[in-house]
Amino acid sequence: MSGIFDTRIEYLKGVGPQKAELLNKELNIFTYGDMLQHYPFRYEDRTKFFKIRELTDELENVQVIARIKSVELIGNGNKKRLVAHVFDDTGEMEMTWFKGIQWVQKKLPVGAALIFFGKPAQYGRKWSIAHPELEPVTAANETRNNFQPVYSTTEKLRAKYLDSKGISKILEALLPQVFPHIPETLSPEILHQYQLIGKQEAIRQIHFPSAPELLHRARKRLKFEEFFYLQLRLLMMKVTRTEKSRGQVLSSTELLTDFYKNHIPFELTNAQKRVIREAFGDMKSGKQMNRLIQGDVGSGKTMVAFICMLIAISSGAQACLMAPTEILANQHFEGLKYFADMMGLKIALLTGSTKKSERKVIHEELLSGELKILIGTHALLEDVVQFKNLGLAIVDEQHRFGVAQRAKLWAKNEEFIPHVLVMTATPIPRTLAMTLYGDLDVSVIDELPAGRKPIQTVHRYDKDRLKVFGFINEEVKKGRQVYIVYPLIEESETMDLKNLMDGYESIARAFPQYPLSIVHGGMKSDAKDYEMQRFIKGETKIMVATTVIEVGVNVPNASVMIIENAERFGLSQLHQLRGRVGRGAEQSYCVLMSKVELSKDSKVRLETMVRTNDGFEIADVDLRLRGPGDLMGTQQSGITDLLIADLSKDAPILTLARDAAQQLLSNDPNLSQPDNVPILRQVRLQKKTAVNWSRIS
């Protein structure tokens, strides 16, 4: 918004410099436009009045009409409080004030009936409301039919009378002045097709709803608009990228055919085949591939990666794969070397601990083109690592790498930006993927290899530990291996480490006959690797560890995952951990151990884990519990610019908005039609004001 909307808020009547400064500091409100976009975060239903007997714990603020029986002052000094005993025809309750007592006292004549408004709480058996708002009972008050907006505000603002009501008053003064100048930001066609109300009306209703139905439509319209512009920006970025970046044509299938015919150890799943086709389509297109492969843990992403490498190498290019940790890089190397050797392709591993002499050889062979596949950690990104012709760069477990690091990969080929495949095992709900990766193409491996038995998950309390030990014993006797994972977070590191060591000792006592491994973040990396390798080789039967084993580690013989203090883990972490088992042909189990008292969220998390193995379903629950702001990568995505739309709740509107943006761009790619002028104007405006809308992949 521009023009009048850029007017500084201090010039509004009733605001002035002092309040303006507070609004700047506390709420980031500088201008009329900012103020107008300070939408209420909820509404209070002031249409309903509660009887005292109807009060429950779940209720937020309520209105009660009650008559004053008596008023008394209790305690003294700091602890002084004013209590009004009130009643209606269903019961009695108390209204309490700790501050402003003298002022309130005058407003509480015994015998009078008042409307009290606030959040009810129960002390003993009696309901009370602390610091309720007061209003006289008048015909108008009793029959009003509006929702009252509630604005976010702060202590400091409240002290200057800028509580929710104060902010509402400012808007009351502001709206009439700016109303006729509020520009429509969507085209008539879109308004019509999606049955949206106009911007002016939406802004009016959002602040001063005149009926629930209109409020609903106002919210829908504003949410749609936010999603629409977010999607439009992403789609336009994608168009620019595909137009600009030429890609090396990688189209030979020679090696691929050989591999399929003579070496491949199993039939690919249909999902794997489809994703390979999608990637191949990009690689031979002459445009640069930027594709995200989402596949739940165990879905076989590594094989897809290898096959894409074969395509690149067949066509005379080289390929690299970057993993987030040394352990993982190692494991990828071991796994891929087996196939590369089979195919007579030279492959090498480059990590922080690669010896200098080996490095030198690697550098040379990369430059000469002799080395076809390089696996490694971010050591790959160093400037000295130069390829003859890097055609395909694969990044595993993408969420651990920053944007800047990935950009470095692109610079590894001067003529063409390498094709990029990003593989992630963190399932992202579709809505979020659309937004986070709106400018990437997304492939999903939504099928596990045949013959996998779904992991059985149970929740057990700490007191059942002996039984769990019995179960571990039986499984190890059958020849299986077991993970026991402890949480370790920085804030409580010492305690957590002690828990881990205690746990290790009690396991050692319980199972003197079994060799154990222990791995935690405090160990040197070669010691960790050594222990990890012993477990991978099957020399140790039980692995006691912190979450260092979270990502990607593949030990098919490990079939039991015990997670201690499971209530302390996030859902996606639990799912990742569980994904370490269920990789072989045996039935696998996951046991979530927890204390008995659990928070509401912890309960939902554990129940979800027990109920389903589906990473996408889990991701959806996770998104609902945590909100998108917490998820990785959202900071750069523009999601945090959303004022009213909510990715976890408004998926249907997002889908509509995405369709609308797509349709618009396919009909009018340059936004040059007269009807689309408002949209073009808005896009330009956002470009100007965008703080840092750099590419997100």
Instruction: Using CB under 6 A, pick the residue from 269, 389, 540, 576 that binds ligand ADP.
Output: 269
Bridge partners of residue 96, in order along the sequence:
83, 130
Residues written for the chain: 697
CB of 330 to Mg ion, least distance (A): 13
- Return the SS3 of 205: helix
Q: What is the largest CA-CA distance in the chain?
A: 96
Task: Give the helix/strand (H/E) hosting 336.
Answer: helix 326-342
Interface stretch with Mg ion, choices 186-194, 492-500, 546-554, 629-637 (CB under 5 A): 546-554
User: Going by DSSP bridges, is the β-strand pair 133-136/113-118 parallel, antiparallel, or unpaired?
Assistant: antiparallel
Which one of 128-136, 155-163, 295-303, 337-345 is the stretch in contact with ligand ADP (CB under 6 A)?
295-303
Stretch that binds Mg ion, among 23-31, 105-113, 134-142, 547-555 (CB under 5 A): 547-555
- Residue whose beta carbon is closest to ligand ADP: 300
Between helix 326-342 and helix 525-536 the angle, nearest 10°, is: 50
Site residues for Mg ion, 609-628, by CB under 5 A, read none
396-425 residues in contact with ligand ADP (CB under 6 A) are 425
The amino acid sitting at 652 is P
Measured between alpha carbons, how far is 103 from 120 in angstroms, rounded to an integer?
Answer: 22
Closer residue to ligand ADP (CB): 205 or 554: 554
Binding partner selected for residue 91 from Mg ion, ligand ADP, none, CB under the kind-specific 5 to 8 Å limit: none
Strands 120-123 and 126-130: antiparallel
> How many binding residues for Mg ion (CB under 5 A)?
1
d(CA 129, CA 113): 16
Contact by Cβ (8 Å): 226, 186: no
Interface with ligand ADP in residues 207-266 (CB under 6 A): 266
Least CB distance from residue 576 to Mg ion, whole Å? Answer: 11
For ligand ADP, the closer CB: 40 or 579: 579
Between 297 and 654, CB nearer to Mg ion: 297
Instruction: Compute the least distance from the CB of residue 460 to Mg ion, in Å.
Output: 29
Q: How far apart are CA 344 and CA 342, in angstroms?
A: 6
Task: Give CA 237 to chain center in angstroms.
Answer: 22
From the CB of 333, what's the least distance to Mg ion, in Å? 13
Grouping H, G, I as helix, E, B as strand and the rest as coil, residue 611 is helix
| Binding status of residue 338 toward ligand ADP by CB under 6 A | no
According to DSSP, the residues that pair with 409 across neighbouring strands are none
Angle subtended at Cα 266 by Cα 264 and Cα 268, rounded to the nearest 5 degrees: 95
| Residue number, 260 or 266, with CB nearest to ligand ADP | 266
Q: Considering the complex, what minimum distance in angstroms separates the CB of residue 310 from Mg ion? A: 18
Nearer Cβ to Mg ion (209/552): 552
Q: Please say which residue, 300 or 503, places its beta carbon nearer to ligand ADP.
A: 300
Q: Is 659 left (phi over 0), alpha (psi -120 to 50) or beta?
A: alpha
For tokens 């090498």, name the residue: 348
Among 520, 583, 605, 658, binds ligand ADP (CB under 6 A): 583
- Pick the stretch among 155-163, 290-298, 349-357, 508-516 that binds ligand ADP (CB under 6 A): 290-298
Name which of 329 and 642 has its Cβ closer to Mg ion.
329
**Which residues between 302 and 321 bind ligand ADP (CB under 6 A)?**
302-303
- Residue 548-587 contact track with Mg ion, rule CB under 5 A, x = bound: ----x-----------------------------------
Of 315, 554, 576, 682, the one binding ligand ADP (CB under 6 A) is: 554
Q: Which of residues 166-195 bind ligand ADP (CB under 6 A)?
A: none
CA angle 451/454/455 to nearest 5° reads 130
Minimum CB separation of residue 551 from Mg ion in Å reads 8
Interacting residue with ligand ADP among 40, 132, 295, 628 (CB under 6 A): 295
339 vs 471 by CB, closer to Mg ion: 339
What's the Cα-to-Cα distance from 479 to each of 448, 559, 586, 673, rounded to whole Å?
Answer: 24, 10, 11, 70
233: left (phi over 0), alpha (psi -120 to 50) or beta: alpha
Sheet hosting strand 81-88, strand order edge to edge: 120-123, 126-130, 91-97, 81-88, 62-74, 113-118, 133-136
Cα 516 from chain centroid? 36
Of 275, 297, 321, 696, which lies in the binding site for ligand ADP, with binding defined by CB under 6 A? 297
The window from 48-56, 210-218, 294-302, 379-387 that contacts ligand ADP (CB under 6 A) reads 294-302
Q: Could you tell me which of 63, 67, 69, 68 has the C-alpha nearest to residue 51? A: 63
Q: Name the minimum Å distance from CB 356 to Mg ion.
A: 29
Question: Collapsing DSSP states into helix, strand and coil, what is residue 645?
Answer: coil
Give the tokens for residue 485.
């994972």
Give min distance, CB of 301 to Mg ion, in A.
Answer: 5
- Binding piece for ligand ADP, criterion CB under 6 A, among 89-97, 291-299, 623-631, 676-684: 291-299
Partner touching 299 among Mg ion, ligand ADP, none, CB below 5 to 8 Å by kind: ligand ADP
Task: Name the site residues for ligand ADP (rule: CB under 6 A).
Answer: 266, 268-269, 272, 295, 297-303, 425, 449, 554, 556, 583
**Footprint on this chain of Mg ion (rule: CB under 5 A):** 552
